[in-house]
Structure 1
Amino acid sequence: MMKRQLLMHVMMAVLVAGLVTMAACSKPTVADPGAMTQVQSGETDAERAARLEAERAARLDAERAARLEAERIKARQLKAQRQAQIIEAKSRFLNQNILFDFDSAELTGQAKVLLREKADWLQANPSETVMIEGHCDERGTTVYNLALGERRANTVRTYLVNLGVSPRRLGTVSYGEEKPLDPAPTEAAYRINRRAQFVVK
C-alpha cells in the first residue's frame, strides 16, 4: 500500500515537472526591435550607412545646384541692370540739349552742369565720337544764324576739351535756323531751338 502511494507521488511530481517545462518552452520571447527592423527592411548597418551617405550627398548636390542657379539669375539681373543703365546714360547724353540765351553763345550754369555729365559719359565710352550741332531760332538772317550756330557748337566743344575730352572725338556743324525742334513762332519754341545738340557718329 505504501509502495503504491509512493509511486503515485513520484508520478505526480513528474507530471508537474513536465507541465512546468512545457509552460516555460511555450513562453513568447521579445525580439530586439532593431533586429526586427533590420530583418524586415533587409538592410544591414553598412547598407543603411551607405544609403544615408548617398542621401546626404544628393541633398548637398541639390543645394549646390540651387545656389549656382541663384547666382546665375543674380548675374543675369545685374547684367540687365548694367545694360539698362548704359542705354539710359546714352539716351540722356543724346537727348539733353545745351540751351542758349537769345543771340548768345555763352554757356549758362545749367549748360555747364550738363556738359560735365556729357564729358563723364564720353570718358566712360572712349570709342564714341560725336558731332556737335549748333542751332538757332528763326529770328535773324540765315547767314547770321549759321555763324551763331557755329559759335555755339565751338563753345561746347571747347568746354568739353577743357574737361579732358580728346578734340579728335568732337566734330562741329552749324545748321542755323534750318532744323528747329519746334517750328512754332513762340518764345517756348525759340527757347528749345537755341541749342547745341549731340549726335553719335
Structure 2
Amino acid sequence: MIRRTTVLSLALLSVVGLDACRRRVVPAPAPVATSNDAQRQADSLAALRAQQRADSIAAAEAAAREAASANQRTAPELAAVLTQKVYFDYDQDVLRDDARAVLDAKVPILLANPAITVAITGHTDERGTAEYNLALGQRRAAQVKRYLEAKGVPESRLSTQSLGDSQPAVAGSDESAYQQNRRAEFQPSGGGALLRPRS
C-alpha cells in the first residue's frame, strides 16, 4: 500500500513537472506603428503646438494693442477728472461732500501716475478785502492739499497758491456767480500720457 501510494505520488509529480515545462503561448504584441505613421503623428503634434503658440502670441498682442488704445481713448477723460474744480460755501474753507467726491476721483489717477504734479489754486468771490480773500483762497487750497495727502498722494507732488478774487470764473454779483467763483482749481503737469488706475 505504501508502495502504491509512492508510485502514484511519483506519477502525479511527473505529470505536474511535465506540465510546468510545457511552453506557454505568448500573445503577439500589438502592431507597432510604422515609421511613417509615427512621423505623421509627430508632425501633426508639432504643428498643433506651433499653432497654439502662434494663437497665444496673437491674442497677447491684440490684448496689448487694445489696452494701449483704451489708455489713449481715456486720457482726455482722465485729464478732465484731474482738472475738475471743487467748490466751497461762503466764507468757508471746509470741504463739502461733493468736493470730497471730486477729490476722491482724482486720487487713484494720481497714484497710478506718480510723475504727475498738481498745482492747486484757491479762489474766492468778490466779497471781502483783497488781503482776506487771498488768505481764504490759500486756506482752501491748503485744505484740498491736506485731503489729497491724507489719501496717499505725496506732498512733494502738490503745490498751493491763492489768487483770491482776482480771477473770477464768472462775472456777476449774484449768488450763482459767487458760488462758481468760490473754488479750487487744479493744474496737472508732467508725467506724459495718463495711465488708467488699476481696478
Instruction: For residues 64-118 of structure 1, give each alpha carbon's deviation from its aligned partner in whole angstroms, at most 9, with x where no partner exists.
Output: 9999778756643432112222331122111x11100011000111111211222
Other-structure match for 2:152: 164
Distance 1:80 1:143 in 2: 48
TM-align CA RMSD: 3.1
Question: What is aligned with 2:28?
Answer: none
- 1:85-164 to 2 correspondence within 5 Å? 85-94=74-83, 96-164=84-152
d(CA) in 1 for partners of 2:151 and 2:60?
40
Secondary structure in structure 2 of the residue aligned to 1:134: strand
Distance 2:150 2:59 in 1: 46
- Equivalent-residue separation in structure 2 for 1:191 and 1:132 (angstroms): 18
What is the distance in 1 between the residues matched to 2:90 and 2:168? 15
The SS at the match of 1:175 is strand
Which of residues 61, 72, 80 in structure 2 aligns to 1:83?
A: 72
Query: Match of 1:156, SS?
Result: helix
Structure 1 runs, 4 residues or longer, greater than 4 Å off:
64-75
In 1, Cα distance between the equivalents of 2:57 and 2:178?
A: 57
- Identity across the alignment (%): 41
Aligned residue number for residue 55 of structure 1: none
- Number of the residue aligned with 2:47: none
- Aligned residue for 1:133, secondary structure, equals strand
The letter of the residue matching 1:111 is A
TM value normalised by structure 1: 0.62
Structure 1 residues 126 and 65: alpha-carbon distance in aligned structure 2, compared to 1, 3 A threshold: closer
Cα distance per residue 1:120-141 (max 9 Å; x no partner): 2211111111111000111111
Distance 2:59 2:155 in 1: 46
Q: Aligned partners of 1:154, 1:114: CA distance in 2, in Å?
A: 16
**Alpha-carbon distance in 2 for matches of 1:166, 1:150:** 19
Contact map agreement 2:82 2:188 (CA 8 A) in 1: no
* Alignment CA distance shift 1:116-1:66 (3 Å): closer
Q: Which amino acid aligns with 2:131?
A: V
Deviations 1:140-182 (A, max 9, x none): 1111110100010011111111111111111100000111111
**Which structure has the greater CA radius of gyration?**
1
* Structure 1 position 186, deviation (Å): 2.4
- Greater helix share, 1 or 2? 1
